[in-house]
Amino acid sequence: MPLKTAQGYIDSLREKKLNIYMFGEKVQNFVAHPIIRPSINAVAMTYKLAEEPEYEDLMTATSNFTGEKINRFTHLHQNTDDLIKKVKMQRLLGQKTGCCFQRCVGMDAFNAVFSTTFEIDAKYGTEYHERFKNFLIYVQQNDLVVDGCMTDARGDRSKSPGQQPDPDAYLHVVEKREDGIVIRGCKMHQTGMINSHEILIMPNNSLKDDEREWAVCCAVPIDAPGMIYVYGRQSCDTRKLDENKIDVGNIHFGGQEIMTIFDNVFVPWDRVFMNGETDFSTMLVERFAGYHRQSYGGCKVGTGDTLIGAAKAITDYNGASKASHVKDKLVEMCHLNETLYACSIACSAEGSKTPSGNYMIDLLLANISKQNVTRFPYEIARIAQDLAGGLLVTMPSAQDFDNPEIGPLVRKYTQVAGDNSSEKRQRMLRLIENITMGCGAVAYLTESMHGAGSPQAQRIMIARLVDLNYRKELAERLCGVQANTDIDWK
């Protein structure tokens, strides 16, 4: 059966022996580690919801290869309905977890690599597309989490990969063998990496003809020899070590970012999907970025829903919810959040079929969607902090509330309206802090800014895709600078 259960997913991670470092020490049991486990729980929700009949239509799909029911995160988009359901699924999971659930990047990589390998094969007669189909069927049959892996360390940003003093600044092929290739380098900001089963590596940017060794796309098991993982430090992360989890805010779920080092990792030929075809590196990067920019209008909107709910709750607890300015601010939060969602749905509805058969979003609207995501969540977070009040940053710790001497006083002076307890207020403020300032801010705000490319990357694509001369011609026809050939009636 292609669908794995949430418990089956967690058990599958326990089988992995990974080389992980955190705080300068090697992690022995990463599944049980209190800092890591919330991020595993978030991924597990992508499996749990797929088990529930209520969400079957969003969370599952029919494989175009086998005809079996599969998790939508392993699916190739077959029509615009699939693209729309993807966004709705991401919003649902954002609502359920309040954080990044880490599986989108693999899904977006699948769809980008599938169509790109088809076109490489059409030009060069290679076998990449068939190899990738076999890999994807394997992923679907085992319901695996795959981390799409693109962003390199990049070294001196003024220099291209082939000009770097250290060629390892961008992941590259260091050896070609009869049975495969050997790669070396580092991929940065890898969301959910150690919660995955496989890694799908892609080039970082456009490449020149003499930069063939950096034009590599391939798949590597998470526990392949030579893989090293360094866990990213996040604000307030050690709060997860506390026995009382109230100060964490989001007490069950969290995100994860990993520095992923490939130290001479061997890849067999059947897992190599690009090897030196520099003229297709731009296509792969732009298609992956487009799909991933579409994703942000789903997942970040779901998290935004939870933040709006937290802002509503805290104003209720404080007895301020009837104030007109509070109502107006909540409306503004909803307006911004739904605008993000609308643009992501639009780029999905305007999608089109690629030569390979899967569907691609409208690239212009996907970049517009992500450009909005680099701005609106920050305003939503600002309003939430406004409504939360100053106690957001002066709230005593959970240990102070539990202290037999000062605890009663702390609770007395943090009491709120009606029969709402001070603990309710404490928990809700910690959730707002988590999403806008703490560990959750990595998934909500920092990912909104830098995930799928920083703001300038979208602006470059928008400038490339928008036809300004066509718009100029429209204006000139209306005012008579050009003859208006549309007017031919008497």
Mode of pairing for the β-strands spanning 20-22 and 227-231: parallel
CA atoms within 13 A on the CB side of 327: 3
Question: Phi-psi bin for 34: left (phi > 0), alpha (psi -120 to 50), beta?
Answer: alpha
Based on the residue annotation, tell me whether 175 is a catalytic residue of this protein: no
Of 99, 186, 218, 299, the active-site residue reads: 299
In angstroms, the CA 311 to CA 8 distance is 36
Residue 124 annotated as catalytic: no
Among this protein's residues, is 446 annotated catalytic?
Answer: no
100 among known catalytic residues: yes
Strands 25-26, 216-221: pairing is unpaired
Catalytic, out of 151, 231, 292, 439:
292
236 is catalytic: no
What number of other Cβ atoms are within 10 A of residue 84's Cβ?
20
Whether residue 186 lies in the annotated active site: no
From the candidates 104, 186, 343, 347, give the one annotated as an active-site residue: 104
15 flagged as catalytic: no
Residue 377: how many CA atoms within 13 Å on its side-chain side? 32
- Active site (annotated) includes residue 299: yes
Please pick, among 99, 100, 149, 217, the residue that the annotation labels catalytic. Answer: 100
Single out the catalytic residue among 119, 211, 213, 447. 447
Active-site option among 46, 60, 74, 191: 191
* Amino acid of residue 422: S
Is residue 266 within 8 Å of residue 190, measured between CB atoms? no
Rounded distance between C-alpha atoms, residue 90 and residue 59, angstroms: 9
Q: Where are the beta strands (DSSP E) in 93-153?
A: 146-149
Catalytic one of 9, 231, 296, 341: 296
Structure tokens at 254: 């969290």
Q: Catalytic residue numbers?
A: 100, 104, 191, 257, 292, 296, 299, 447
